[in-house]
């Protein structure tokens, strides 16, 4: 039986919920801010993993997406998205062949930080008869992937520019180390310092006569400083659409649209137990929260249970509670479907095609 048009009470638990009113409001907020700043918005799909959700966003003006993995790019192509950027390095002949194949059906961009990877990618592109857009990833302080700003990035841009089958598009600089920082003053300063390095690198490349079409980066935690920075052309946040208990604490302008509907299965004078645990609710970045009940405190997640402290006047066995996870991206990866609701009524059920995949 279809659940479309049914109230939440018709759902069995646990169930992953997506509040479309909140999601749409989050999107509208950042779309308006990017438009006012003259920046493009490219939504990060690693948080979403759901092709139908990508279609929902595309119907509301989102045309460009980025992702972390090839399987996410494949899901996007299957959903009809044609402007896709894989914001990680794609290495090895099997993955490069898949990457080149995707470029037959969509405009595909990818980032690099290694000369041998560039050469191998060019071979794969030529063999498939496609052209791949390539961005140099610049390390602006995260100390993970990327080349150093300035001359190292320029050298890689020269190589890409010279390779048949590749097209140099621009630069990526992601400040992931700053996203969850609660110190807004320090975060703003460090964010601008990193973006200044991108701007300097862009100027060096352009001085060589190589065009820099795109400078992309930032996330939900640093979007406003990137939007104001003259070096940037594009912002690439993703979590702002879903949010979670941890991120909302530092970026309260975006509402939590993702939750897990649960049932109380046990009750004691000082606590109650829910029928979902760590297999359904991510706690990567902290402690989940009980939606609408700020006084209730999550004590512990077991595999199939969540223990919640209350003041003794809480729910009965059989009552429902929505849990806000502590990491929206990882929570989406735990589930195979999401129930989209609007005004407490089921509007759609969507498969999460890229969940549970690491390719």
Spatial neighbors of 325 by CB under 8 A, at least 6 apart, are: 244, 245, 258, 259, 260, 281, 282, 283, 288, 331
> What region does 352 belong to: left with phi over 0, alpha with psi -120 to 50, or beta?
beta
Residue 235's pLDDT is 98
Residue 13: half-sphere exposure toward Cβ, Cα within 13 Å: 22
Q: What is the pLDDT of residue 314?
A: 85
Check residue 244 and give its pLDDT.
97
Among residues 71, 14, 33, 24, the alpha carbon closest in space to that of 222 is found at 33
Residue 156: per-residue pLDDT: 98
pLDDT given at position 2: 86
pLDDT per residue, tens digit, the chain (359 aa), is 789 999 999 999 999 999 999 999 999 999 999 999 999 999 999 999 999 999 999 999 999 999 999 999 999 999 999 999 999 999 999 999 999 999 999 999 999 999 999 999 999 999 999 999 999 999 999 999 999 999 999 999 999 999 999 999 999 999 999 999 999 999 999 999 999 999 999 999 999 999 999 999 999 999 999 999 999 999 999 999 999 999 999 999 999 999 999 999 999 999 999 999 999 999 989 999 999 999 999 999 999 999 999 977 789 999 999 999 999 999 999 999 999 999 999 999 999 999 999 88
Write down the pLDDT at residue 134.
Answer: 98
pTM, two decimals, is 0.95
* Residue 49 phi, psi (nearest 5): 65, 10
Domains and CATH numbers, the chain: 8-15+252-351 (2.40.37.20), 21-240 (3.20.20.10)
Which residue do the tokens 């990866």 mark?
333
Distance CA 54, CA 51 (A): 5
Alpha helix (H) residue ranges in the chain: 20-37, 51-58, 70-78, 93-102, 115-128, 151-162, 184-207, 223-228, 245-250, 328-334
């Amino acid at each position: 039986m279809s659940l479309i048009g049914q109230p939440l009470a018709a759902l069995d638990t646990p169930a992953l919920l997506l509040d479309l009113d909140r999601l749409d409001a989050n999107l509208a907020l950042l779309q308006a801010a990017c438009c006012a700043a003259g920046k493009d918005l490219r939504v990060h799909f690693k948080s979403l993993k759901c092709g139908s959700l990508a279609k929902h966003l595309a119907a509301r003006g989102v045309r460009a997406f980025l992702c972390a993995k090839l399987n996410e790019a494949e899901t996007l192509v299957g959903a009809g998205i044609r402007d896709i950027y894989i914001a990680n390095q794609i290495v090895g002949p099997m993955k490069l062949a898949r990457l080149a194949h995707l470029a037959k059906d969509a405009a595909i961009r990818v980032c690099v930080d290694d000369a041998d990877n560039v050469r191998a990618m060019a071979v794969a592109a030529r063999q498939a008869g496609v052209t791949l857009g390539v961005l140099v990833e610049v390390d602006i302080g995260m100390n993970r992937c990327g080349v150093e700003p300035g001359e190292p990035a320029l050298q890689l841009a020269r190589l890409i520019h010279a390779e048949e089958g590749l097209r140099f598009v621009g630069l990526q600089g992601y400040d992931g180390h700053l996203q969850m920082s609660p110190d807004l003053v320090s975060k703003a300063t460090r964010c601008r310092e990193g973006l200044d390095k991108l701007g300097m690198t862009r100027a060096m490349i352009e001085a060589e006569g190589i065009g820099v079409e795109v400078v992309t980066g930032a996330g939900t935690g640093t979007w406003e400083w990137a939007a104001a920075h003259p070096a940037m052309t594009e912002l690439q946040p993703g979590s702002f659409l879903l949010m979670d208990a941890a991120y909302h604490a530092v970026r309260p302008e975006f509402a939590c649209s993702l939750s897990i509907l649960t049932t109380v299965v046990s009750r004691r004078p000082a606590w109650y137990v829910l029928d979902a645990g760590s297999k359904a609710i991510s706690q990567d970045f902290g402690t989940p929260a009980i939606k609408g009940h700020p006084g209730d405190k999550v004590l512990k997640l077991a595999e199939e249970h969540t223990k919640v402290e209350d003041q003794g006047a809480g729910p009965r066995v059989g009552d429902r509670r929505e849990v806000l996870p502590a990491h929206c991206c990882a929570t989406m990866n735990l589930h195979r479907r999401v129930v989209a609701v609007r005004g407490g009524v089921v509007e759609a059920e969507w498969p999460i095609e890229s969940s549970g995949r690491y390719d």
